[in-house]
Amino acid sequence: MTMIDDVLGAVYPSNGSLYELRDKNNDNDSRPISTDGVITADGWTIPRLVIVANRTMPGPTIIATKGQRLKVKVINKLRAETVAIHWHGITQKGTPYMDGVPFITQCPILPGNFFTYGFDLLESGTYFYHSHIAVQQADGLFGALIIQDTNEGRYSRFCAAGPGMES
């Protein structure tokens, strides 16, 4: 299991607590640390870095309504990598430069810079956003985008009566 603290870097678990990874061969000088700011990413046998949005993996779910204009400001806080966010499955009618494909529809966002994506939500459905730079998506930079229909009740899709059932 990989665990990274946003300030201390790699951490390790021992006896029900988390400790700063100073010297993996000698934990005598380690002290317990808070679990705030620690990200765990299961499935890896060796510690590795993750790239996240708003300190969460997956990134925050964005919920909006069909017909709205979505605006998302992306600030690249990575030290040496560029970022571009692709809105998977979203029709970019009139805004192809907001599609998030680096060097094709936009320049990538340089470290320390930001870019504000803005586009109209033309179709309802469940989509996802993800980085379109190298393997950043696999490293954790992705999240859900849910676009609700304007005339649909919050739970109507899940509560519709099936065959032989009364509504």
Residue 15's closest CA among 31, 37, 1, 39?
31
- State the pLDDT at residue 38: 63
**The pLDDT value given to residue 154:** 58
**The pLDDT of residue 1:** 43
Cα separation, 87 vs 77, in Å, equals: 20
The tokens describing 25, both together, are 């061969």
- pLDDT, residue 29, reads 65
* pTM over 0.85, yes/no: no
Q: Which residues contact 136 (CB under 8 A, 6 or more apart)?
A: 51, 81, 83, 130
CATH superfamily of 62-148: Cupredoxins -  blue copper proteins (2.60.40.420)
**What pLDDT shows up at residue 4?**
62
- Written as tens digits, the pLDDT of the chain (167 aa) is 456 666 766 666 666 677 776 665 665 667 777 766 666 666 555 556 678 888 778 889 999 999 999 999 999 988 888 999 999 999 999 999 999 999 999 999 999 999 999 999 999 999 999 998 988 887 878 999 999 998 765 555 555 555 555 54
Looking at residue 27, its pLDDT comes to: 56
**Start-end ranges of CATH 2.60.40.420 in the chain?**
62-148
What pLDDT shows up at residue 167?
44
> What per-residue confidence (pLDDT) applies to 20?
75
Sequence-distant (6+) residues with CB within 8 A of 11 are 3, 4, 5, 18, 19, 20, 21, 33, 38
